[in-house]
Structure 1
Amino acid sequence: MSYSIDTLKSDCYEGTSCLINKFDIKDEVILKELETTITLNKITEYSLNPLYDSFDVQHYKNIHRYLFGDIYDWAGEYRTVDMSKKGTIFAEAENVEKLMSNCFKRLNDKNLFQGLKFDEFVDEFVDFYCVTNMIHPFREGNGRTQRLFLTQLINKNGYDIDFSEIDTDELLIATIQSANGVTDYLKDIFKYAIKNKTA
């Protein structure tokens, strides 16, 4: 939850950086531990039995609501505050809805990247990854939502991926580089991580 924001305008308890939550927990460390436990269970459940398969923007929002609905009232809804993290400035909140709509229109216009050669698929996949990351549509939980959706998208195209096998520091560095327009490292990571289902 280490975002650069104005906590007075960011759905946090007054005088804290702890997000207002359904458990009324006002300690950020305790909230983070509970959030991690709940979402890990939800991710496991969803991975075993995906609930959505439309691959539209509502699908993406539904995943977020599924993961975080027990914790936050705003789960599945776009953020209303501007945010940045580790030097990366995300899309302005007022533009999130339009940007997400355009992003998912492109995904579906491209037929979910189906039928592409592997290198072409990775190129399109990385572009989608970068765009959704830079939009950062939710107040919290963007990475977990993104990884679950992308795993499902990869499976739809006949591949597998295990994000837990990707070095988180390397992925973070590659993602920061991609925010500055350099995607080579990110493509290399995903070319290695995405496997054929028969492999």
Structure 2
Amino acid sequence: MSESINTYTVSVYTENNIGLLNRISAIFQRRHMNIESLNTSVSEIEGVSRFTIVVEMTEEQIKKIIGQIEKQVEVIKAYYHTDEETVYQESCMFKIKSDLLFEEREIQNIIKESNARIVTVNKEFFVLEKSGRRNEIELLHRELSVFGIMQFTRSGRIAVTKEPMEVTQMLEAFNH
């Protein structure tokens, strides 16, 4: 019986070293696994970076990849979690012609109903920002596409786990 494919959020706590992103992405590439989204940022621990990677694969595959990631010298700890075990969001921005904001009543309704936020408005364009689940962002994109989108960008997933992450206590003990 074959294992089912799931969406996993991988959290990798690392020292901030040049070249690590290439080595981590190569681990996925060697296995012909596509990264759905990738975000890097500081973490809750000073001097420690966090990679948040979204992938679709079997649990057996993700366990092997976590093992490979943890072999990287700069990696402190790597975890994987299902969607049910995390609280997650993405953000996006749309740049749209300003005329539409004033001439198309429907755009104002779309903005209001989607809980998007107008970031800036000038004579040529306005910029909308929306945070939420990917399907909410995709719906807003479809609705606005009818009117014409000048520019669009979406972030990778950002996520926190519902359960505590042991890495914080692990590092606190290590630093004392």
Asked if TM exceeds 0.5, the reply is: no
Bin of the TM-score, shorter chain as denominator length: 0.3 to 0.5
Structure whose CA Rg is larger? 2
More helix by share: 1
TM-score by length of 2: 0.33
TM-score by length of 1: 0.30
More strand by share: 2
